[in-house]
Structure 1
Amino acid sequence: MTRALVESVKRYTESQSGQSPFVTPIEGVTILRSDHERHPSHLLMKPALCVVVQGAKWTTFGGKRYDYRAGQALVVSVELPAMSRIVQASPDEPYLCVVIELDLAVMREVMEQLDRPPVPDGELGHGVFVADFDGPLADCVQRTMRLLDTPHAIPVIAPMIMREICYWLLTGRYGAEVAKLVLANGHVERVVSAIHDLRHRFAETVRIEELASVAQMSLSAFHRQFKALTSMTPLQYQKQLRLLEARHLMLTGAANAEAAAYRVGYESPSQFSREYARMFGAPPRRDIAALSAA
């Protein structure tokens, strides 16, 4: 990444009130900053480009870990529970990241206009990969940052920059991966449909057979393809969604531990507490107290 881009992102974060994440006036663009290395944090990631401008981070999905640093981007194609940790950051050189949500409709429009659209192979890859982010793509991020200085131009210029980002992704080195993972074809599309169904019904008792039916696959094929795409089983995916939602409910004061457990689908508060502590490292009340104090 160029020094100019680092300085422009750093300058923007320093001009804002509040703390990271900084939601910008450009729809779908958020900036992250940390002046220190962080303990692992759990989150639900949407389809996006996470462009590291300075510093380094790792993110795990299920049992698969991705390391990425300045000049690279984490590309996420489906909504996935994740755990991330910033591993390189300091007050002098803070961790800086520009997160650009992917608009699949725009991506498809751009792909339809290409003379030679990328052809994905038939293999179902992971719904995540790390890509180098330089050349025209880095220039797009730089112009996005400059656009923040002229808010009146955002409605006109921002959509064009987003389309350009789609173009360079589809025509670049990772075009086949982007076409396969982000645009979703064949098996990918059907598994993604099942993921969306599970996402909306995560608090219910959902049988794997139901999800396989949504994906129009046999039970064994669906289980294999789901894990290939998400790096976790459907049950693990659902459990992480439940626990993330429960944590959110408690942290916002919308429910206490017992009420949150029932609202996200647990029948036993004790089982909820055990699984919560296994995922977040402490029982619900202690974890929320620590987060609130922080």
Structure 2
Amino acid sequence: MRLDEKEVTLQQELAAQIERYTGIDGTFSTNIPSLHFIRASNETDPIHTLYEPSLCIVAQGTKLVILGKESYVYDPSCYLVASVQLPVSGQVIQATPECPYLCLRLDFDSSQIIDLIREVDISQNVPSSTKRALYVSQTTTSLLEATVRLVNLLDTPQDIPVLAPMIIREILYRILLGEQGHSIKQFAMTGSHADCIAKVIEMIERDFAKPLRVETLAAAVNMSTSSLHYHFKEVTAMSPLQFQKKIRLQEARRILFSGVTEAANAAFLVGYESPSQFSREYARMFGLPPISDIKQFRSTLRAASN
């Protein structure tokens, strides 16, 4: 998809602001609590993380996100939305020191969406079928204009408390009106299948180290086990057990990289009873068994510090 001349100008302004507020690689918070900037001057290895409900807009470069077995690529011509918490793998696939990857992430929560739906008649055309909670959609001029205005508020911090909530509301309104806005709306409809799946996701994430019993989860949201399996996979592109496994392994890797314990104990902390099973599944997800992965991580840190 190609941007028109006005959209190109807006993206360039956005890129210049992100570069000005970062300057080095990394993820940066801003004076607007829900707004974050990301910069990378080279292509990256896959990074496993938990996406929160958020809007991501790339001003420069290209990124690949993998959810389950599905791939999503987005660049300045499109934006990405995650409607609920999702374990994903993200990788910058186009970036150079001369033209770094520059992106912003705007976090939001369901209460902001519910308030919008209540106040404005944007609840129509919500399909009865459950939709994926992650999608890529074409960038629009109106969305870019609002986003640039939000970022420009960082130059006048005294205006942020009054104007930022208004502009964020406009941005969310724009994506709700977008061609795939129903993917967000579905989670704000109390009692919908998507709403039930969002509750199940919260339960799995809260108790990920405990044995997963689908029957118990289904009963908690008044669904049959078959219906829960079906709609959970429609939303997340994976089964509840696969979802839990990714959460467990991501947390185990975080623990191991912090250096506070060894692999066998990390396995136990995240709910594994068999260290050998943990090692196999860890290597399948991250490409190396735990001990080798830790060694490579420490080697990379030493090289970066030299």
Q: Which amino acid aligns with 2:218?
A: A
**The residue matched to 1:21 in structure 2 has which SS?**
strand
TM-aligned CA distance change 1:183 to 1:65, over 3 Å: farther
- C-alpha change, 1:140 and 1:293, in structure 2 (3 Å) is farther
Match of 2:66 among 60, 70, 87: 60
Q: 1:115 to 1:182 in 2, by over 3 A?
A: closer
TM-score by length of 2: 0.90
Q: CA RMSD in A?
A: 1.7
- Among residues 224, 227, 233, which one is paired with 1:227 in the alignment? 233
Which residue number in structure 2 is paired with residue 109 of structure 1? 115
Name the aligned partner's letter for residue 59 of structure 1: V
- The answer to whether the Cα contact below 8 Å between 2:282 and 2:290 also exists between their aligned partners in 1 is yes
Query: Would you say the 8 A contact 1:89–1:95 is kept in 2?
Result: yes
Give 1:9's aligned residue. Answer: 18
- Residue 166 of structure 2: aligned partner: 160
Note if 1:45 corresponds to 2:45. Answer: no
**Residue pair 1:125, 1:181 contacting (<8 A) in 2 also:** no
Name segments (4+ residues, structure 1) moved above 4 Å: 181-185
Match of 1:193 among 189, 199, 211: 199
- Assess if the C-alpha contact under 8 Å between 1:54 and 1:94 holds in 2: yes
Mapping of residues 236-275 of structure 1, within 5 Å: 236-275=242-281
SS in 2 for 1:65: strand
Q: Tell me the CA shift for residue 103 of structure 1.
A: 2.4
Say which of 190, 203, 208 aligns to 1:202.
208
Counterpart Cα distance in 1 of 2:168 and 2:189:
16
Corresponding residue for residue 137 of structure 2: 131
Deviation of 1:142 (Å): 0.8
Residues of 1 paired with 2:146 and 2:130: CA distance? Answer: 29
- Aligned match of 1:281: 287
1:262-285, Cα deviation, whole Å (9 max, x unpaired) = 100011112111111111011112
Partner Cα distance (2:121, 2:273) in 1: 55
Contact 2:26 2:38 in 1 (8 A): yes
1:283 partner amino acid: P
Note closer, same or farther for the CA distance 1:114–1:203 as it changes in structure 2 (3 Å cut): same
Cα deviation per residue 1:109-142 (whole Å; 9 max; x = unaligned)?
1221114543301011111111122212111221
For 1:158-203, what per-residue CA distance to the aligned partner results, in whole angstroms no more than 9, with x for missing partners? Answer: 1111111122222333333331256676111111111111110100
Residue 100 of structure 2 corresponds to residue 94 of structure 1: yes
Stretch of structure 1 that moved more, 238-247 or 63-72: 63-72
TM-score by length of 1: 0.93
Q: Which residue number corresponds to residue 4 of structure 2?
A: none
C-alpha contact 1:111 1:167 (8 A) present in aligned 2 = no
CA shift at 1:250, angstroms?
Answer: 1.3
Kindly tell me: are residues 185 and 28 of structure 1, through their superposed partners in 2, closer, same or farther at Cα, counting changes over 3 Å?
farther
* Higher mean C-alpha deviation, range 133-142 or range 43-52: 133-142
**CA deviation digits over 1:210-265, x for unaligned, max 9?**
11112311111111111111000111101110000011111122322121111000
The separation in 2 between residues aligned to 1:191 and 1:5, in whole angstroms, is: 35
Gapped runs of 5+ residues in structure 1? none
Task: Measure the CA separation in 1 of the matches of 2:184 and 2:86.
Answer: 17
Distance across 2 between alignment mates of 1:272 and 1:115: 49
SS at match of 1:212: helix
Match in the other structure for 1:33: 39
What SS does the corresponding residue of 1:118 show, helix, strand or coil?
Answer: coil
**Number of aligned residue pairs:** 291
1:63 aligned partner, one-letter code = K
Partner residue of 2:124?
118
